[in-house]
Amino acid sequence: MKTSITLPHSDIEISRIIFGCWAIVGGFNWGPQEERDSYAALRAAYDSGVNCFDTAEAYGGGHSENLLAKALKGERHRIVIASKVGPQDFAGGDVIKACERGLRNLQTDYIDLYQLHWPNPEIPLEETLGALQQLKDAGKIRAYGVSNFGKKSLDECRQSGFSISSNQMAYNLLFRAIEYEVLPLSIEDGVPVLCYSPIMQGLLTGKFSNWTEVPDDRARTRHFTKDRPLSRHQEEGREELTFQTISLIKRISDEQGLDMSALSLAWLLNQQGVGGVIVGGRNADQARRNVRAYDIPSDPALFEELTSITTPLKEHLGANADLWQTDSRVI
């Protein structure tokens, strides 16, 4: 399996397993987190061959960027930092200011890949992309990309004439919505998809045996009923089908003697159009285990079986590529 790619419109080479720096701040969605575990996770990922780290100002209000800066201070020129600007800062001048804050949080003078976190229909995309191009021309960022850009936003992006280097989307065996529209477009345009929540926030490790065990902040996705207290969608959810699907994946992993999360990551890395997987880890052990996805032997029949058993859930959740909200907010 190819373990690195070069981002288009740049000379940036990234490991295809990317470390996701959201959960290491703990708090909302994740619960208590020891800072020493966060540092250890970042270092273990780096020592295991991960060179790319995905963060955002939104993760702990800059705390995630801070942790990354401190943990890998001596490695700055050997790592690729992917950070994000939030949609509230998409007006041209605000993008520049947000980037300056990011640089301070990250204790660096450049961000390798700067991404638009979510679309913002209130601000013309050309204005935001123009500001990113300005930052690139000034050497403050080396490339720019987008995140959570569904078909509508990608079409706007195409029309803008700016060249994006990546699109970060929710994609995993339990959430395959991007296969309907986003992935074919990405393949056509040569824009690599960087998959977030690739083990579905832990569901694909098999750690929850049924949906009642999943804490409310992790049960906000459209797999779960709208009646969960923190839900922001209006759907019934697919709890039973989700957990039946998890059992089927678990059975296959066990039969093959493979770790379920590593197999889930390997399946993703074998999908056409996927540039990399951004996987979170809360401690050194998780970070090391996730990198073992590279060691899963390529077995087209096995990957096909995983595709087939997860298709009913894909069809029930449909083409809406937003993991958390009903079509009302069209991305």
Ligand X SMILES: NC(=O)c1ccc[n+]([C@@H]2O[C@H](COP(=O)([O-])OP(=O)(O)OC[C@H]3O[C@@H](n4cnc5c(N)ncnc54)[C@H](OP(=O)(O)O)[C@@H]3O)[C@@H](O)[C@H]2O)c1
DSSP state of 179: G
Question: At which residue do the structure tokens 């923190």 appear?
Answer: 230
Nearer to ligand X by C-beta: 64 or 108? 64
Amino acid residing at 302: L
Rounded (5°) CA angle 270-202-234: 100
Using CB under 6 A, which of 147, 165, 221, 320 touches ligand X?
Answer: 147
DSSP state of 9: T
Please choose, out of 20-28, 96-104, 180-188, 219-227, the segment that lies near ligand X by the rule CB under 6 A.
20-28
Position 26 contacts ligand X (CB under 6 A): no
Position 286 contacts ligand X (CB under 6 A): yes
Residues 135, 113: Cα–Cα separation, whole Å: 11
Position 83 contacts ligand X (CB under 6 A): no
- Using CA atoms, how far residue 264 sits from 96, 156, 291, 315, in Å, is 37, 32, 12, 19
Position 52 contacts ligand X (CB under 6 A): no
Position 23 contacts ligand X (CB under 6 A): yes
Six-digit token string for 202: 């832990």
Q: How far is the CB of 259 from ligand X (least distance, A)?
A: 8
CA 322 to chain centre: 13
Nearer to ligand X by C-beta: 301 or 306? 306
Amino acid residing at 182: V
Q: Are strands 141-147 and 193-196 parallel, antiparallel or unpaired?
A: unpaired
Position 261 contacts ligand X (CB under 6 A): yes
Six-digit token string for 294: 């590279």
Position 290 contacts ligand X (CB under 6 A): yes
Q: How far is the CB of 301 from ligand X (least distance, A)?
A: 25
Position 25 contacts ligand X (CB under 6 A): no
Position 128 contacts ligand X (CB under 6 A): no
Counting residues that bind ligand X (by CB under 6 A) gives 28
Position 205 contacts ligand X (CB under 6 A): yes
Using CB under 6 A, which of 167, 201, 231, 320 touches ligand X?
Answer: 201
Sign of CA dihedral 330, 59, 180, 163: positive
Question: Is 59 among the catalytic positions?
Answer: yes
Residues 42, 289: Cα–Cα separation, whole Å: 13
Active site residues: 59
**Residues contributing to the site for ligand X (CB under 6 A):** 20-23, 30, 54, 117, 147-148, 168, 196-202, 205, 207, 261, 278-282, 286, 289-290
